[in-house]
Amino acid sequence: MGFAGLTPPSRAHFITRLKTVETVPLRGHFFRLVLSVNAGAIEETGPSFAGGGRYNPPGEFGALYLSQSPALCWNEKMKQYNDRADAIPPQTLGEFDVHIARSLDLTDESVLKVLGTKVEDLTDLFDHSLPRMIGAAAWSIGIEALTFFSCVSFKDETKNVVIFKDHLKPTSKVVLAKTTPYRFN
C-alpha cells in the first residue's frame, strides 16, 4: 500500500505501528560531507532543526544525517548541485563511530510492511511528508536512529542513517573519529 499522491496517516497511526516493530542495534562507521567552512559544526543538528530533513520536520527536533560511504555522500552532494562537480565548493568529510542501542531499519521489507509503505514512498526526491511523519513517530517513542535507502541511489542498496542525538541512551554513542578535506576524483 503506497501513499503516492495521498495524505499519509497521522503520527499516532505510525506510533501505534512502530511500537510493534523490534528495534535493532546499529554499529559501524558512517560519514558526513559538509562545506569546509562548516567543518567545525559537522556534528551539529541545528541546521536540520531549522530547515527539517527527510526524517525530521522543521522546528521540531534536529537530526544528524550520515551515509554508509564517502561515495554516497558525494553522490548526494552531486544531486544538490545538479550533477555539476565543478560547482561544488570545498568539502570536509567526517567519519563517525556509531554505536546505537535502538534503531529502526527502514530498508527491511518486514518493517515497511508493518508500516504499510514501500521503499519508493520513502525515497521521493520532493515529497518528504511520509518520511517526516515516520521519523517524528519514531522520535516520539524514543527510537534513536533510522537506517534508510538514499533517494539518489537506493537501487544500489546504499544506505543512510539519521540519528536523533537528543534521544541517545547512555549506552549509545556517536563519536566524530576524524575529519579530512574531501574531493571526489
Domain boundaries, the chain: 31-182
Q: Return per-residue pLDDT of the chain as tens, 185 residues.
A: 445 556 768 899 999 999 999 999 999 999 999 999 999 999 999 989 999 999 999 999 999 999 999 999 999 999 889 999 999 999 999 999 999 999 999 999 999 999 999 988 998 888 899 999 999 999 999 999 999 999 887 555 689 999 999 999 999 999 999 999 997 65
The confidence score (pLDDT) of residue 126 equals 84
Cite the beta strand spans of the chain per DSSP E.
24-35, 64-67, 91-105, 145-149, 159-163, 173-182
pLDDT at 145: 98
For residue 151, what pLDDT is reported?
Answer: 85
pLDDT score recorded for residue 88: 94
Is 54 within 8 Å of 132 (Cβ atoms)?
Answer: yes
In this predicted structure, what is the pLDDT of residue 1? 42
What pLDDT does 125 receive?
81
C-alpha cell at position 118? 514501500
Long-range contacts of 57-61 (CB under 8 A, 24+ apart): 57/132, 57/135, 57/136, 60/136, 60/139, 61/136, 61/139, 61/164, 61/166
pLDDT at 30: 97
